[in-house]
Amino acid sequence: MIIRQLLRGVFLPPVEFGSRSAVLRALSGMPHPKSDMTEFREVFSKAKHVAIITGAGVSAESGLPTFRAASGHWRKWKTQDLATAQAFSRNPSRVWEFYHYWRELAIRAEPSAAHRAIAECEARLSKQGRSVVIITQNTDELHRRAGSRHVLEIHGNLFRTRCLNCGDVETNHQSPICTALKGKGDPDPSCSDANIPVEDLPRCNQGGCDGLLRPDVIWFGETLDSHVLTKVEKVLDACDLCLLVGTASVVFPAALFAPQVAARGVPVAEFNIRPRAATSSSTYHFQGPCATTLPNALARHETEEI
């Protein structure tokens, strides 16, 4: 499967809906995605294995801005220029400030109605012998905090650290993660770097190691965890309904997941505040904030007995 070969971080050009997609649709005779909720609910009620692919938009209503909403910047730097191994080795203090900012936002955030609707749907369907698996690009843990149990975090987790010296991976929810980062990380472009000495940044506490820790997230240009990708492949191959929630789907390899499922003739239902260029290849598109659209879409169907 091709997704195994791919690194994170190749961007698709973010073509706006209405330009190239409209032309392609007209040329190919491709139907417009439907927004018929009753029909979607019929399909949903019959699905045995549901894959739900989520992106930053699912956490937007929890107060975590999408990179796009934050104009793709933290202070004066592009987020994709900070989320790299090169940026970390050049300036670990700046990159830790950036991740400290995200950790503190995520710790204080609460799961939204969209996270809760997904978790409730998973719990209910599992009692009926049906499965729901969440494949998320988010690193904020809000799906788990909402109660979801089958979550594949393809881009890692803000609340894990990895030691650059011994490789030890630990869960870490400390706030702040180290004293030197307390009160740092302000995203305002006029704010200066804290320039924290490397020995005061988060360090490994495994017997005498003291190596520098990094956030255990997948940075641009890094390979996704092959164990996680193997699980993703199985879920994509087995699903008979796929939801694409709050993602621009412009970052590989996640951008390939829904098209891969659609190519098998499996319905894809998209929930986004705006159409994307590739929305035209989805079966359904429900436009609007997903904390409003998803609870209706995933509520108990009249044919469900429990």
Where is the binding site, in residues? Answer: 55-74, 163, 166, 204, 209, 272-274, 290
Binding to Zn ion by residue 256, rule CB under 5 A? no
Q: How far is the CB of 163 from ligand NAD (least distance, A)?
A: 22
Q: Does 281 bind ligand NAD (CB under 6 A)?
A: no
Of 111 and 246, nearer to ligand NAD (C-beta) is 246
- CA nearest to 150, candidates 132, 130, 125, 137: 132
Q: Please give the DSSP secondary-structure letter assigned to residue 137.
A: -
Interaction between residue 122 and ligand NAD (CB under 6 A): no
Q: 277, 290, 297, 298: which one contacts ligand NAD (CB under 6 A)?
A: 290
Q: Rule CB under 5 A: choose which of 118, 133, 158, 163 binds Zn ion.
A: 163
Task: Name which of 215, 63, 64, 58 is nearest 137 in CA terms.
Answer: 58
Contact partner at residue 246 from Zn ion, ligand NAD, none, CB < 5 to 8 Å by partner kind: ligand NAD
Under rule CB under 5 A, residue 205 binds Zn ion: no
- The distance from CA 105 to its chain's CA centroid, rounded to whole angstroms, is 16
Distance CA 56, CA 109 (A): 13
Q: Which residue has the tokens 């359904």?
A: 284
Would you count residue 209 as binding Zn ion (CB under 5 A)? Answer: yes
With contact defined as beta carbons under 8 Å apart, do 207 and 14 qualify? no
100 is catalytic: no
Of the ranges 99-107, 126-134, 150-158, 166-174, which one interacts with Zn ion (CB under 5 A)?
Answer: 166-174
Residue type, 245: V
The item of Zn ion, ligand NAD, none sharing an interface with residue 165, based on CB under 5 to 8 Å by kind, is: Zn ion
Tell me which of 66, 93, 282, 283 binds ligand NAD, using CB under 6 A: 66
Structure tokens at 190: 């006029």
246 binds ligand NAD (CB under 6 A): yes
207-220 b/e (C-beta count within 10 Å ≥ 16 → b): eeeebbbbbbbbbb
Q: What is the largest CA-CA distance in the chain?
A: 65
The amino acid present at 147, given as its one-letter code, is: G
Residue 157 interacts with which of ligand NAD, Zn ion, none, CB < 5 to 8 Å by class = none
Catalytic residue among 155, 173, 227, 285: 155
